Amino acid sequence: MDIEQQDFYTQAILSLAALVGLTSFLMLGQGRLLRLIFIFAMQGFLLTLTAALAAYSLDNPHLYISAVLSLVLKVIFIPWMLRREVIQMQAHRDIEALHNKTTVMLGGASLMVFSYYVLHPIVQTTSPVMLNALAVSLSVVLLGMLLMISHRQAVAHVVGFMAIENGLFFAAIVATNGMPMVVELGVAFDVLVAAVLFGIFFFHIRTSIDSLDVDRLNRLHEVDK
């Protein structure tokens, strides 16, 4: 497949997929919370762009609604809320020392390869472009998980959680031109409620263990010692 022979829309989608994947890797190596939130907002913006582009190129007006939803939720509201919480709790000054940064990055790269491997059977029925788009979204989902595993701050966990949602959103736009409207609204509603609940939880965790370091949430065990 030669990329120059593809139409404009396909080329744009491929570049956006690459950029979305890149932002995921950037988040993975970021120890400062405010920068992490900024990169997350960037990823949200790329998604908005993807949705708007798909709406324009494919003449699919309901994707404009998805674009607006993702702009309001993932570029403005959630980053704003997280930023406010972080500054309120004075957590923006401490830099999280990430252990094994190199290993985590290599792990991230292998997750990406793994995503391609898992989704490879799809090539038989569709274009390689679709494989790229779907594999990138799956790896964004998996990288979100890795982000949660490698970071200890509750805020970073929320960013990872929302990044997983971003990966799913990207898959939905690129592979199927968005889910049916009712589903998309439902998912957006769930994300909104989840974001608000996370805000409440920061407050509770902070008051109960006097820190947002989730490693200190260690009172419950699988078996009693």
Partner 1 sequence: MIAAYLVLLIPFIGIVFFALAGHKADTGKLNIRFNAVCLLATVWLAINVLNQGTLLSSGKAFLIDPFNVYLIVLTAFVGLTTSIFSSPYMAHEKELGKLTDKRLRLYYSMYQGFMLAMYLVLTTNNMGVMWVAMEGATLATVLLVSLYRTPESIEAAWKYFILCGVGIAQALFGTILLYYAAVQVGDVENSLLWSVLYENASKLNPEILEIAFVFMLVGYGTKIGLVPLHNWLPDAHSEGPTPMSAVLSGLLLNDALYAVVRNKMLVDGASHSDMAGHLMMGFGMLSFLVAAFFLHRQKDIKRLFSYSSIEHMGIMTFAFGMGGPLATFAALLHMTVHSLTKSAIFVTVGHASQVAGTQSMDKIRGLIKTQPRIGWGLLIGTVAIAGFPPFGVFTSEFLVLLATMHSYPWLTPLLLLGIGIAFAGLFRHVQPMVYGNQPEGQFPVKANLWPVMIHLGLVLWLGLAIPGFLAHWFSQATLLISGSTPL
Contact footprint for partner 1 (CB under 8 A): 118-119, 121-122, 124-126, 134, 137-138, 141, 144-145, 148, 154, 157, 161, 164-165, 167-168, 171-172, 175-177, 179-180, 182-183, 186-187, 189-190, 193-194, 197-198, 200-201, 204-205, 208-209, 214, 217-220, 222-224
State the minimum distance, in angstroms, from the CB of residue 62 to partner 1.
Answer: 11
Cβ-Cβ contacts under 8 Å for 60 (sequence gap 6 or more): 54, 177, 178
How near is the Cβ of 196 to partner 1 at its closest, in Å?
Answer: 9
**Nearer CB in complex with partner 1: 37/154:** 154
44 alpha carbon, distance to own chain's centre: 8
Minimum CB distance to partner 1, residue 154 (Å): 8
Q: How far is CA 15 from the centre of its chain?
A: 17
Cα distances (Å, whole numbers) of residue 140 to 25, 156, 204, 218? 9, 15, 29, 28
Q: Shortest Cβ distance from residue 137 to partner 1 (Å)?
A: 8
> Coil, strand or helix: which one is 219?
coil
Residue type, 175: A
